Structure 1
Amino acid sequence: MAGGVLHLVTDRKAAPDLVAVVQAAVAGGVQWVQLRDKTAAALDLFHLAQRLAPVCRAAGAGLLINDRMDVAVAAGCDGVHLARKSLPVAAARRILPVPMLLGASVHSLAEAQEAVQQGADYVTFGSVYPTRSHPGQQPAGLDELARVVDAVPVPVLAIGGITPDNVEAVLATGVAGIAVISAIQGDPDPAAAAARLRERMEASAHRPRHPFPRPRCIAISDQETPLRLREGGRG
């Protein structure tokens, strides 16, 4: 895929009407949405995921849930993204239905290698640049990002302070794509913001070292269980 994939990581505080923001973002070119809400109850997150899933699928986009594997499985999402204080990757890998993607946030080469060794399908590395979401965090920079991309055999997403003005330099490292929060949600026109990023990415001559998988669009009925998904094997 030219220029890699564009991920949106949600922030409920920045977007009270998250469904409308996601609908605009996927219309503008976002290919993956990661639903992240650290304070929501499981039931509320489940209902929100159920509302977002058809929006994403109508646009051909994938839906991941941050941290909450139970919600991801119950809502029929494409996968789970683990944060620093989530379950270890190896533990999550043992219990996650096998068709689902498993990603992890990492902040160093050692963390990236450990996550891959434990079974992560992809890693998100950052922060690459200074970012409002982590104001006190020292950015890792492009050189460290390139080291991670070169060292691990799975797709690497870059996150942190990425804008249309610097996305070309990020793509030059061979990343599978970028993940953004405020670059889209902080814009009064999320569709236009996504389109600007997508346009720059599509125009890039750089290609991912390891391309990001396409959405599997797993559909889980009320009768289907994680065990039955396991028995079906990987798609």
Structure 2
Amino acid sequence: MNLCIMLDKTDYESIWTEPVLHPEAMSIAGKEIIQYWLEWARFKGIEKLYIYTESEGVASEKIDMLETLYGVAVVYLHPSKNIEYTENTYRGLGVFLDSGEYRTIKDLDSFLKLERALIQEPLKYSSTVGYGKFKHIQIGKNVYIHKSAKLSGAVVIGDNCIIEKDVEIRDSVINSGSLLKRGSVIDNSHIGKNIHLATNVYLKEKALFESTIYDMVKRESVVHEGICLKS
């Protein structure tokens, strides 16, 4: 039994106001979208996962790593008009929940709402592969957290992050490669990949990317300066 998924560029390009990542490399609740598909395939006993995507140059080392972790063969293919859609073909960017429901991500707001849901009860939808997990807190590999930092609520911190002195994180996701400098407070917010914050930054109900910040309440995105440092 095989599973085919479509990562259609038109479904995710409108999410961001800056250059997008490959869809399968986008991170939600501390891990890549593609890992959710692989978890579902493993759970269902599916032997091979076909990924139709416009992304170029997927590293063979990454494919080998995914196949080793999940025990599912991974085959990347370029989209074509000859694809035959069936009930086992899923189109668009999204994830499977534990219930088997598939949630499509259509815009940044739905992306962030789904992320909020995924880190609750406690992190019941988060992968245990390669992560330390403590009730409502999930910590990635190679993470430094200063002893004075305070984490509360449901928190996910991705791989290779640095959390400096007197940082407070509440009910938030910090994606991989990010640096939170001293005195910052992150409350019910999302920090994108490889973000280096300035000192004493306060974020509440915001999604922060390299050059834009999204207000989750007002659903507005604006260009910012001075919040992020050059990495």
TM-score by length of 2: 0.27
Q: TM-score, normalised by structure 1?
A: 0.27
Q: Radius of gyration: which is bigger?
A: 2
Higher strand proportion:
2
Give 1 or 2: higher helix fraction.
1
